[in-house]
Structures are given as C-alpha cells and as structure tokens.
Amino acid sequence: MKAKKFKIIFSVVLLFHIISLYSRTLTVKQDGTGDYTTVQAAVDAANNGDTVLVWPGTYYENVVITQKNITLGSLVLTTGDNSYISQTVIDGNKSGSCLELRNISENFEINGFTICNGTGSYDGYFDGGGIFLNMCCAVNVKNCVVKNNTVPGYGGGIYLFYSGVYLSGTTITGNHAYKRGGGITLLRNSTATFDTVNRCNIYENYSAIGTDIYKFGNCPPMDFHVDTFTVQNPGYYYVYSSDLINEDPQYDITFDILHHKIEQSSTNLYVSETGDNNNSGLTPEDPLKTISYALLKMASDSVSPDTIKVSNGTYTPALGEKFPLSLKSYVSIKGESRDSTVIDAEDTMYIMYGINFTHNYKISRMTLTNGNGNDYGGCINLAMNYNSVFEDLLLTHSKGSVIGTTSIRQSPNVYFKNVVFKDNIGAKSFRSGANSIYPGFSDTVYLINCKFIHNYPDYNVPGMAAGGAATVVCEDEYPDSAVQVLINCLIAGNHAKGDGGASTYTAFYGGTSYMSNCTFADNGRDGQSGADIGLYYAGKITVYNSIMYGNRPPGILMFNHPSMLPNYLSIDYTLFEGGHENIQVLTGNNILYYGPSNIDADPLFYGGEEFPYNLSGQSPCIDAGTMDLPQFILDNMPDTDLAGNPRIFNGKIDMGAYEWNPTVGTEEHNTSILPDAALRLKIFPNPFSSGTTVSVENKKPSRVKLSVYNSSGLLVKVLQEGVQLTGVSRTLWDGSGDNGRPLPPGIYTVVLNIDGKERQSAKVIKE
C-alpha cells in the first residue's frame, strides 16, 4: 500500500517536472533582440505554463488571450524592481481593451504593467477598458497600474463577467465608465479578492453608478482591503453593490481602508474652468476645475445641504469633465448664469444621472448641451429620485433615440421650472413614467413655465427617434402611477416624422397628464394623418385654460384595447382648433368630456420675435380661463407668465401660457399720474441712449417695485423691488433687460407699483 502511494506521488512530481521542462519564457523586446516585438505575437505563440516576459517600452496593442494559462509579466517579475511598472506600458490606443481575456480556466498572472487608454471590448456594451475578463476562473493581477481607461459601458479599469480576480499591489485610478463601475465592475457571480499585505490603491475613478466599484447579479459579499481609497468612509455612491432585479443598493461590503485621497467637504464648493482639482475648492479664489471632482469631494449632508457653485465658462470632456455627472443627495449644483455656464458633453454621453433614491437637490442656472443618450435621455436621467428641482436651465442640441432629452422614472415630486427644451433631436424630448418594479413608488413630475421649442426627429434612426415634445407612460396594471403636471408651458414648433399617430404629446398605458394654461402651437409632422396629442391604452389627459392651435395635423386622437382600462380625456376652458369634431375616437373604451366653455377660434397671437405666442388685445382668450382648478395646480401656479407678466390679472386668468395685461406697454396705457399726492415718478434724460435715471419720491415708507415693459406689453426689466423709506430714491437704468443684454431702441413704459398696486407710469424713449 505504501509502495502504491509512493508511486502516485512520484508520478505527480515527475509530471510537474516534465511540464516545467517544457515551460518556456518568451521574450518581447521592441528593438528586435528578443523572441518577439509585440505582446500579442508572444501570447499567440505561448502554450499553457509559459511565461511571456516583456521588456520596457510602450506597446500600443489590444492583446486578446483565449483559453491559455500563462504568466504575462514585465521585468518586475524577474527582478522585483517596481520601477519597471511605469516603464512597461500596454496602451490600448483608444481602440479596444488593453487586455481581453476569455475562457481562462486556471491561474493566469498579469504582473508589473501600466495599463492605460483602453476603450473596452464588446459584451453588450463596450466594457473593461484596461482588463476585460469573461468566463475567467482565476486571474491574478499583481503590481500593475490600471489608469486612464474610458468605456461607454461597464468597468472603466477592470470588467469581470462570471470571473474571479485576485488583486495585489495594484493601483486603479483615473478610469471612467459612462454606465457602471468607473474602476471595477463585477457581474454575475464574479469575485474580487484583495491582498491584505501588498495592498491595492483604488481612487478617483468615475461613473454614473459606482464611481469606483460596481457589483451586480448574485456576486458574493466582498471584503474590501485597500491602502488608499477615494474617501475614508465610502457610501454606495463610490462602491455600489446591487441586487439582481431592481438595482437597489445592497450593503454587503466590508471596508478596510488605511488612507484616503480626497478629504470630503461639508460646505459649499466652487468650480471654475480656470480652476485646479488640486485646489481646496472652498472659496471662489481657490476653485476646483471640474464638477465631477467636486461631486466626489462633496459630502452628502442632510443636516447642512450644500451647493457646488459653478462659475461662467464651458465644461467639456476635452477639459477634463467626466459625464454623466452622478448626482448626490443634498448636493445642489448652481451655475452663475443660464446662458453663460455651459455644460457641454461634446456628443460623448448624456450629461446627468440620478442613481436610485437620490433626493433633495437642485440643479439650476446653466445650459446643458450636446448630450448623447442613445437609449437614455440626452441630458438628464433620473431613477427613483425624489424632492428634486431643475430650474432656469436650457437643454439643447442633445439627442437620444428612445428619449430625446430627459428621462424621469418613478421619481415623485420632481420639479422642472423655467426650463427650455430646444433644438434637440430623437424621441419625444421629455419622458416620465413608472412600472411594476416599485408599484408603490409613483412618479409625479411638475413642469412649470417650461418651453418645448423646435425639437425634431432623428431621420438617421429608422423606426425610432420620431420627435415631438413629451410623453407620460406607465404599466396598465398600475394606472395613475405616472403623473405629469404641465402648468404655463409653451409647446411650439416641434416636429415628428412619419404619418399617423400623435406628433407632440402622448399619454400611454395609464400615464396621466394634467395641463393648465399651456399653449400648443405650430407643431407638425411629415404626414397629414394623425393628431397633435394622443391617448393610448388607458392614457388620461385633463386640460384647462389652454390653447391648441395651428398644429398640423391638429386635434387629439384616442386609441384603446377592449381589455384595458378606458382612455380618459377632459377639455375645458380651452381654445381648441376645430372643436369637438377634431377629437378622433378611433376605438371603443374611451371616456370624453368636452366642456361648454371651450372655444373654437383664432387666438390672435400678438407675434413678435421674443414672445410670438403672447395675446393681442383682441384675443378671445383674454379672461376666458377659470380659476376653479384642482388645488395641486393652484398651489403650483407661477406668479408670472412666460413673458414675466403677472399670471393672474384683476382676479382673472387668460387661456394659454401668456397673460395679456392691458395696463402696461400699449399705446392705450394711461401715462398720466394717477391721483395720489404722496407719489412722484420722474425719468431724466428722456429720450436717452446710454442710460437714464428713474426717480421716485415717496412721502411714507412703502414697498416699491419699478418695472419696465416694452411696446408689446412684455416685462423686460425689474429696476427696483423692496421697501423704500420716506424720501427720493434714484435708480440708474442702462437700457438693458433682465438678462443683462442691451434692449433695442424703442418706446418703453416704466410702471411704479406701491404695496402691490400700480400707481404711476411714464413712457421713456431709448434711442
């Protein structure tokens, strides 16, 4: 028995000895003195058990290794000298993964390289810019630097799919994945084990979800041991472990972090295009350079919510900005001005993403442009966010074949205020909706004083990207779980491709929409059939105080299935071109209410370059609306219309998005002093060219507001607003509007309001 056991042991030892005799070391030298001059050629020639030893140099390659168990190393492998890491570079040349490994069944070792500038291998998306592992049982990555790789999909630095990796002495930094896992992504039972002695460094990577690490799909819990990480106490913003179904964060990672790279801030941070990410960012004089870095640095603090203040300038990938910007709870981002603080994605990726359960933040005063969403919205994408505000934004020149500009999914109490969606291409520019993943987590989105202008289809995407303004959609088994509320919005000049269907706005599968004081005008499509607005499969739309005129094809269509809940359409106090007959009921199972207060007439828009859809003094829409509105609409009715005029005048409201104010800005305006001996209003010089002084003499303390209106009756400037004591106040007006730009020559009216009531006015001529 002992002899038999000895024979077995001897046979195993002999076998390994024979294998070692046949194992080879293949050398790679760029000067031609080695066995090969490229890493790929050596790998192709290698057999199981061989070592490919690479001499210093930069190898611009995308090395693909399949079903081989070898060791790939720099001279670190033979000398132990880590200086060879920076000298031996595998550079993906921005054309694929640096190293792509598939179907590795036994230990494979990568040792002693800098791995950079990879863009990923295809696995549903382009993933794994530095190292791509698919069905690899055991890969050892030792003494490497994986940096500056960028992928449109998952795993900027390292990507694992049904794979395992052992990481030792490796630094993973500066990698970027647009979708998931800036540093590392683990999918489907993948594992990452970290050396607790020769520790790794993982820091300052970036992604929409899991800026450093993302783990999804039955991957086991992880013990995370590193020397240096991005921050000392990471939450799921940095290391995101997800469940298999809903992508909810799972808290199954234990952290052992010795040091951190970024000291987090619990105060406002400042960003400038002339800044530096090595600055503190704590003052305007010492700003950071990128918003993405500021988001990494900012603590998510519910006790003291803070703001990233972004100065005027243009923030682009070429200048170091990383997209999409991954939003944080309690962290707002505020530009210096809407038109001069420009976030430009340069057609690389969409611009902002709110990961699950991000909440209580505000994005304001900036332009978002040149976003590319593909199957996402081109600018903004939110998933189960809540209590969020987007205000004073311009979203323009972005594209997405499924959603043109913005996608909101199951996100209650999200507000868009004074947001302009203009000149985007793709699908309908704004989409909100809900589904059965979280049936109790409904979606309620408010659009207030927003404009949808000149959004177009993408004719390069067949069967999709049909154009239009907005849609609301949910699953029919959960009706009313997706609600859009549009108040005082302009939807004009949008276009859709094809013939038939709804051009501009749709409510699908139980999606619910409320519209009050909206103007739909001059929207169109390629063909002549269809309608401007559509209800499909239990869609619900309720319209008050709106104008629907000049759309081609005009009207509303209703299409349903007998098994669905009914479509529901209610229109009241609305100018509706063509009247009741312009509602196309294409199937049964619909409920329609067409109120007696609707009118079918020309709205008599005043026209003009700045506000072409404001009302003339002869419009039938004046005072034709109702204030008998649902309370949630009244609670969110803006103070002013889209031109800045009071939204409710003399206790009445007009139809459409603009309120006609007969007391200002028209030739019929009474320019005489109203009877009040306590008030004096003077303007000198008048006419003026470069500036004039507006004086108000007040004989008792009052709340004073001085406003300037143009000849069309539109508010162009607020000169003064606040409490004035007894005496004379003088306000210099340089002839500019509220946006700071010079107004054209013409006749303007200065209106003085005292304690909320108009008291005096005077004409002034700008030459």
**Nearest by Cα to 568 from 593, 545, 586:** 593
Residue type, 439: P
- Model pLDDT, residue 665: 39
The position carrying tokens 């951190």 is 260
583/693 same-domain check? no
Going by C-alpha positions, the residue among 163, 169, 229, 216 that lies closest to residue 192 is 163
**Is 232 a member of any domain?**
yes
| Strands, E assignment, 99-233 | 99-102, 108-111, 114-116, 121-122, 126-127, 131-134, 139-142, 145-147, 150-151, 158-161, 164-168, 171-173, 176-180, 184-187, 191-194, 200-203, 206-209, 213-216, 222-229
Domains of the chain: total:
3
728 part of a folded domain: yes
| Residue 554 placed within a domain | yes
Rounded CA separation 462/104 (Å): 40
Assess contact for 82 and 74: CB atoms under 8 A.
Answer: no
Q: Is residue 14 part of a domain?
A: no
Residue 644 and residue 710: Cα distance in Å, rounded?
12
Q: What CATH number should be reported for the domain holding residue 717?
A: 2.60.40.4070
> pLDDT digits over 212-251, tens only?
999 998 899 999 999 999 999 999 999 999 987 778 889 9
pLDDT of residue 17 exceeding 70: no
pLDDT for 23-46, tens place per residue?
A: 899 999 999 999 999 999 999 999
Q: 626 and 702 share a domain?
A: no
Same domain for 518 and 431? Answer: yes
User: How much of the chain exceeds pLDDT 90, in percent?
Assistant: 70
Please check whether residue 631 lies inside any domain of the structure.
Answer: yes
Helix (H, G, I), strand (E, B) or coil at 295: helix
Query: In percent, how much of the chain has pLDDT > 70?
Result: 93
The pLDDT tens digits of the residues spanning 376-414 come to 889 999 988 999 999 999 999 999 988 889 999 888 899
- Residue 150 belongs to some domain of the structure: yes
Do 722 and 623 share a domain, yes or no?
A: no
Looking at the structure, do residues 194 and 134 belong to the same domain, yes or no? yes
**Domain extent for 741:** 679-766
Closest CA to 425 of 497, 510, 322: 497
- Report the CATH number that the domain containing residue 565 is assigned in CATH: 2.160.20
Q: What is the pLDDT of residues 483-501, one digit of tens each?
A: 999 999 999 999 999 988 9
Last residue of a domain, which of 260, 281, 304? 260
Residues 568 and 684 in one domain: no
Residue 521 has pLDDT above 70, yes or no: yes
In tens, the pLDDT along 300-345 reads: 888 889 999 999 999 999 999 999 999 999 999 999 999 999 999 9
596 & 687 share domain: no
